[in-house]
Every structure is written in structure tokens, then in C-alpha cells.
Amino acid sequence: MLKGKSAVVTGSTSGIGLGIADALAAAGANVMLNGFGKPEEIEAIRAGLAAKHKVTVLYSGADMSKGEDVAGLVQGAEQAFGSVDILVNNAGIQFVSAVDEFPEARWAAIQAINLSSSYHAIKAALPGMKKRNWGRIVNIASAHGLVASPFKSAYVAAKHGQVGLTKSVALEVAEQNITVNAICPGYVRTPLVEGQIDDQAKAHNMPRDRVIREVILASQPNKRFVEVEEVAQLALFLCGEYAKSITGTSIAIDGGWTAR
């Protein structure tokens, strides 16, 4: 399906990003991984994907909070693979606080990683995509790119911005066979979320199953987590030929959260 294509997936050493990288590699794409972690664990992931799918898998430790690093990540992938045909902007961080108590450094970091990194990566990738008259950009936003929750002002602002960026860029490149879409997941079962469940269980002195249903998934009507593979398969579809007329959209995969 994607044989001969090459992809950059930011924040892809775990969770949603790793799931998307795996799906793209399974479809035949070469993949540039990016993210934090122990070097030996990252190398095991990289080598495992390459061996499993018989594609080239590389890794960059580029810091997504720094624009020059983001541009360097894309440019390095272009040099290594010969092209960057697919860009998945997935890197993100979170911090929860009342807005009048929100640390300015935390606000700036969330905007830099969750929003500005997408701008820098898109800016670096588009010239090559335009030259080849083909490209797929998928921004992993959030249900919080469509609706808000209290105490998450920085995250909600950044994800709303990412959705707006998606629409604007899609209109700019609509005639050049380049699509730009946002995926807006609800709560996805990732190692990070599993840790939040344990923390909430201790904080509320509640069993895990009750925390999941009444706290974590309170806004998710189907009362089950989105699985990483569901997001990955949606991203894969958006990168394929059958999605060539889907652009400028924000697709919710949230168990009905944003239908309220």
C-alpha cells in the first residue's frame, strides 16, 4: 500500500505514535522514529520494526520544543530516505492547572511541543511534497481540539490551534495532491494513561474499574478506551489513495465524547 513511501512520526517511541509507526511500516513505508526513552529500549523498538516489516527504520532524538531540531528531523529523513511523503505530528505533553496558577514555562512548553512543532515540521516537509506532487500530513490532535475541559487551558488552546492549522494548510495545498487532516482521539489506552489510572485510584481511594468508568471515561459515552490500533488504522487510511479527497477534516475517534 505504501511501498516506496517514507514517513516521519514524531513522538513515536511509545503509545499512539509507536502504533502509527508500526502500521505505516507494515504497509511498506520506511519510518523515522522520534521521541524520548532509554537508548537501548529505543534501539530495540527500531530494530524490531525494521526486522518485522522489512523496511528501513531510523531514529532521531530531535527535541520537539526546538524549531531548529524539528526542521532538522525532517531534513535528516529527506536525506536518509530520499523523500518524506508522510508526516505524522504526534508529539505532545500535558499539564493540568487552573489558568491563573498555570506556570508560564509549562504553558510555553505545551504550545511549543503540541502546536509549534507541527508548524515547523509541516514547513520543512511541504517543499519536497510539493515537488513530488504527493503528500500526506496527519496531525494527532485530541477531542480537546474540538471541545474544552477545565484546568487544561494550555492543552486545549494548543490542540484547537492544531485543528486550525490543519484546515489552513489543507486549503493551501489542496490542488497539489497533498492532504492534511487531524485525528481527534478521546482517551486512548496508553502506558501514560495507565499510570494516570493508578494515580487517580490512590488519590480517590477507589478501585481501578470505578476510576476508569467514573473519572477517566466520564466524558466518553461508550465507557471504553480507544485502543492505539484504532487510531493507527485511521491514520493509515488517511495516508492511502482511498483518502485522497479527505482533507482539512478533524476526525473524532472518541466514543461519542464530542457528539454531546
pTM of the full structure: 0.96
| 155 counts as catalytic | yes
Active-site residue, from 59, 119, 155, 187: 155
- pLDDT of res. 191: 82
Q: Which of 132, 119, 138 is nearest to 183 (CA)?
A: 138
Q: Which of 2, 64, 68 is nearest to 34 (CA)?
A: 64
Taking CB atoms within 8 Å and a gap of at least 24, the contacts of 214-220 are 216/187, 217/187, 217/255, 219/143, 219/149, 219/186, 219/257, 219/260, 220/186, 220/187, 220/254, 220/255, 220/256, 220/257
Q: Per residue of the chain (260 residues), what is the pLDDT tens digit?
A: 999 999 999 999 999 999 999 999 999 999 999 999 999 999 999 999 999 999 999 999 999 999 999 999 999 999 999 999 999 999 999 999 999 999 999 999 999 999 999 999 999 999 999 999 999 999 999 999 999 999 999 999 999 999 999 999 999 999 999 999 999 999 999 887 888 888 888 888 999 999 999 989 999 999 999 999 999 999 999 999 999 999 999 999 999 999 99
Give CA–CA dist 138/23, Å, rounded. 14
End-to-end CA distance of the chain: 36
Give residue limits of the domains in the chain. Answer: 6-187+227-259, 189-225
What grid cell was written down for 220?
466518553
Q: How many CB atoms lie within 10 A of CB 202?
A: 10
Determine the topology of domain 6-187+227-259 in CATH.
Rossmann fold (3.40.50)
What grid cell was written down for 140?
494527532
- pLDDT of res. 33: 98
What grid cell was written down for 207?
478501585
